[in-house]
Chains A and B, each alone.
Chain A
Amino acid sequence: MSAIAPERPRRFTRPSPKALLGLAGTAVIVVYCLAPFYWMAVSAFRRSSDLFAISALPSPWSLENFGAVMEAKNGFLRALLNSVIVAGTTTILTLMIATFTAYALARLEFRGKNLLLAIVIATSMFPTISLVVPMLKLFTNTLHWVNTYQAMIVPSMSFALPLAVWNLTAFFKQLPRDLEQAAMVDGCTAGQAFRKVILPLTAPGVFTTAILTFIMAWNEFVIALSMVNRGSMQTATVAISRFTGATGFDVPYGTKMAAGVLVTVPLVIVVLIFQRRIIAGLTAGAVK
């Protein structure tokens, strides 16, 4: 019966009360997720003199805080660039090697598979703050990596890898083997079958893993703070932590909120653009 199931877009089969319910759900989620962020943005647009006001809209609107963030001496643009480099490289490398490993775990027969899975996840069980000092020792004395990108990229990779490997393994396993076998019957090698069939079909999973990895790396703070002591190498989160008031007692909340907005919004926009492009591209490949 199912063999001839028509490829109809689901949305037309939904009755309208359900659609209304969905709309309500959508609204609730949007409000829940955005309300605190809204407060952050509103605070960022207030003048520093009425920062503590609790009106729903800033009056008057002011770009003072954003100006303060962008002041040349803060090097915030440079820090954003550093964050892009670190998080971008981390994501690409993590996804690559995690895909390899996940493929082996999902599709190949070998001994010690469970042990490998266990070891990979075990590295996510040690308190991160307790890793900083030994890692710093390793990077300072042995590898001489202080003030380099790899000193931030490699640890970020190690934090993201367990999730990426497990995730991808789960996604790959979710697809039946018949798919590849069919492709191999058509003359594909195992590798080709994987690339042309499995990857496109798990694109939503792979892409979600990439987003999660990117954001994890983008938000990483402790390592970036410890491994780098040159202003020109600092990432955005570290730069934000260095905004202080004139005396050390006064906390420039407004500036930090503005910086938070500046760090978050482009990230979300970029993710959305990529999401459309990549998913569209990959799934298009799969259909054929």
Chain B
Amino acid sequence: MGPQGMKETTNMRHWLPKAGMAVLAASLLAGCGSGSGSEDAGSKPPSFKGRGPITLATGKDTTGVMDKVLDQWNSTHPKEKVRMIELSESADEQRQRMIQNAELKSGDFSVLNMDVVWNAEFAANRWIVPLPKGEIDTGSMLKPTVEAATYRGNLYSAPWTSDGGLLYFRKDLLEKAGAEPPKTWAEMKKTCDKVLKLPEAKGMSCYAGQFDKYEGLSVNFSEMIHGAGGSVVDKAGKPTVNTPEAKKGLKWFADAFKDGTIPKEAITYKEEEGRQAFQKGDLVFHRQWPYQWALANAKDGSSKVAGKFNVAPLPGLDGPGTSSLGGHNLAISSDAKNKATALDFIKFMTNKENQKKRLLLTSQAPTNAALYEDKELLKKFPYLPTLKASINGAEPRPRVVQYGDATAAMQEAAYGALSGKTSPDAALAQLQKKLAGVNSK
């Protein structure tokens, strides 16, 4: 249809309330009902043609690294400049803005910087387009990061940064107590018993993670379940959380709260509160992301534990634990103009050289596997091998379309069990039921 006709329809659409608009728009723009989804998913060449200016919608980057990278791109692509649209700091608000943008079909956002867990939801709602096969160098990337970017066999976003949980431990105290970094939760507790008897460890607590009721709790909860050999959902997204393994996992942490292995106030910890506690020297062990490494090693007096800690892979119930996967992917919005430019830009951002730059300047973990062996990087980030192991063994959080409901249900179950309001058994039974309901929503 001509632009004129398009405009007419657009004008008419404003006066139809929202939902009606969405239907009309969907039928106009997608040109297909629900039945023709397979064709749509496979077709790529026609939609990756346009070239010209694009935008990158992303949470703010105060390091200024993004500006530098964009300047570099813009100076070599004067006709295909990228403008950065800075979204709010909170991940929830970023997601909201991206969804609004998609539902308005506005095309204001071309490339989206998405949290890994949004991939399934954005793909299933056709808010983002599948990336053409063979364009993104997935072979060079850590496998779990590629899996997390894939929905029903198609790659929908390019893994850009990654993240995995690490067990931070007080090297100095463990050495004094003659203990090795623990492989299991029980070992960790035993080590603590020894360490906490040391005079230097007066007033300290054993362990903390992120236990406040927010996304971080879903991350930690998944690790409790996976670390005990259980799973939250299976490959097809069916809930599998009401199992003896899962119960053992959650119960260990609920008990740890009860007996003081985990301090009471840890129920209010997000990343930052936990980091403060660790830096003040209140914790022997701390489950945390790599970002804490540089900050806790700061020599400006803010950290009392600078140089006194190291990292190990997360422990589990009977052996090494399993981290949840974090990180960000770049995707192309369905309504973006100039998709060819957008694709080139994504390839540019995720190439090895730029990932390395990014790691050096922001200490954000790369998805490129080779960088974890890079000598220069290893000198600055000695934890890279541990992190690589953590990411390689990582399980994504449930890849379900209604992720918002799934994560709320997980938080509810975990928070109830950890704060002692519900028994782990009851919490998981209820979670199983809720997750089954989420799938049908």
Q: Which residues of A are at the interface with B, using a C-beta cutoff of 8 A?
A: 47-52, 73-74, 133-134, 136-138, 140-142, 146, 225-226, 229-231, 238, 241-252
Given contacts A73-B67, A225-B93, A246-B63, contact A141 B362 (CB under 8 A): no
24 residue pairs from A and B, CB less than 8 Å apart: A49-B300, A52-B276, A137-B18, A138-B14, A141-B10, A141-B13, A142-B11, A142-B14, A226-B97, A229-B57, A229-B85, A238-B88, A244-B60, A244-B62, A245-B62, A246-B62, A246-B363, A247-B289, A247-B363, A248-B89, A248-B91, A249-B271, A249-B272, A251-B89
13 more contacts with CB within 8 A, not counting A225-B88, A246-B291, are A52-B276, A133-B18, A136-B100, A136-B104, A140-B106, A146-B108, A230-B85, A241-B90, A244-B59, A246-B363, A248-B59, A250-B271, A250-B295
Number of residue pairs spanning A and B whose beta carbons lie under 8 angstroms apart: 93
Cβ-based interface call for B26 (8 A): no
User: Which listed residue (A73, A133, A137, A251) contacts B272, Cβ 8 A?
Assistant: A251
Find residues 229-263 in chain B having any chain A CB closer than 8 Å to their own CB: none
Minimum C-beta distance from A81 to chain B (A): 18
Distance A141 CA – B12 CA, assembled complex (angstroms): 10
User: Which listed residue (A49, A50, A231, A241) contacts B88, Cβ 8 A?
Assistant: A241
Cβ-based interface call for B27 (8 A): no
Residues of chain B lying within 8 A (CB to CB) of residue A142: 11, 14
Map CB proximity to A onto B277-313 as digits: 1 under 8 Å, 0 otherwise.
0001000000001010001001011100000000000
The 6 closest A-B pairs by CB, nearest first: A49-B302, A247-B291, A142-B14, A242-B60, A249-B271, A244-B89
Residues of chain B lying within 8 A (CB to CB) of residue A251: 89, 272
Minimum C-beta distance from A170 to chain B (A): 36
B85 near A243 with CB under 8 A, answer: no
Cβ-based interface call for B86 (8 A): yes
Residues of chain A lying within 8 A (CB to CB) of residue B93: 225, 241
Minimum C-beta distance from A200 to chain B (A): 44
Distance A230 CA – B62 CA, assembled complex (angstroms): 16
A243 near B14 with CB under 8 A, answer: no
Distance A252 CA – B89 CA, assembled complex (angstroms): 11
Cβ-based interface call for B275 (8 A): yes
Cβ-based interface call for B436 (8 A): no
Distance A133 CA – B300 CA, assembled complex (angstroms): 45
Distance A82 CA – B104 CA, assembled complex (angstroms): 26
Residue of A nearest to B290 (CB): A247
Minimum C-beta distance from B230 to chain A (A): 27
Residues of chain A lying within 8 A (CB to CB) of residue B108: 146, 229
Cβ-based interface call for B21 (8 A): yes
Cβ-based interface call for B3 (8 A): no
Given contacts A247-B291, A250-B272, contact A49 B14 (CB under 8 A): no
Residues of chain B lying within 8 A (CB to CB) of residue A250: 271-272, 275, 291, 295
Minimum C-beta distance from B433 to chain A (A): 29
Distance A133 CA – B100 CA, assembled complex (angstroms): 7
B100 near A231 with CB under 8 A, answer: no
Residues of chain B lying within 8 A (CB to CB) of residue A52: 276, 280
Given contacts A248-B59, A249-B291, contact A140 B275 (CB under 8 A): no
Residue of A nearest to B63 (CB): A246
Residues of chain B lying within 8 A (CB to CB) of residue A136: 100, 104
A249 near B289 with CB under 8 A, answer: yes
Residues of chain A lying within 8 A (CB to CB) of residue B60: 242-244
Distance A225 CA – B87 CA, assembled complex (angstroms): 8
